[in-house]
């Protein structure tokens, strides 16, 4: 019947957050720039999907990719201002999890 009285901007933000891995990638980047292999091994995401997510996040202006032509090449992913602004969401998720989820 009524296809969405939901604010389309909210809906878009929510669909971003509900993509598998996206939240964790952002969470990891909140502690500073990270390389591809670091993200990959620290959170158990597959390279295939990590690559896809980073590209999406870059396209959306949430993540920034920088190449350092060292040897071997170093590529760092970090948050833009738009990405950093997601921190309060992460903090609230953190709070909720600590209040409502069991320790084990």
Binding site for a second copy (CB under 8 A): 1-7, 9-14, 17-24, 27-28, 41-44, 82, 85-86, 88-89, 92-103
Pick what 94 binds: a second copy, DNA, none; C-beta below 5 to 8 Å, kind-dependent: a second copy
Among 23, 30, 52, 80, binds DNA (CB under 7 A): 52
Task: Give the binding-site size for DNA (rule: CB under 7 A).
Answer: 23
Cis peptide bond prior to 29, omega within 30° of 0: no
**Residues found in the chain:** 104
71 counts as binding DNA under rule CB under 7 A: yes
């Amino acid at each position: 019947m009524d296809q969405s009285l939901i604010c389309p901007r909210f809906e878009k933000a929510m669909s971003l957050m509900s993509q598998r891995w996206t939240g964790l990638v952002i969470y990891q980047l909140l502690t500073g720039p990270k390389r591809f292999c670091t993200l990959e091994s620290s959170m158990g995401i597959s390279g295939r999907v990590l690559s896809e997510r980073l590209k999406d996040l870059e396209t959306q202006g949430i993540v920034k990719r920088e190449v350092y032509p060292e040897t071997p090449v170093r590529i760092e992913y970090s948050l833009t201002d738009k990405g950093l602004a997601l921190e309060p969401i992460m903090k609230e998720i953190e709070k909720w999890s600590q209040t409502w989820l069991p320790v084990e």
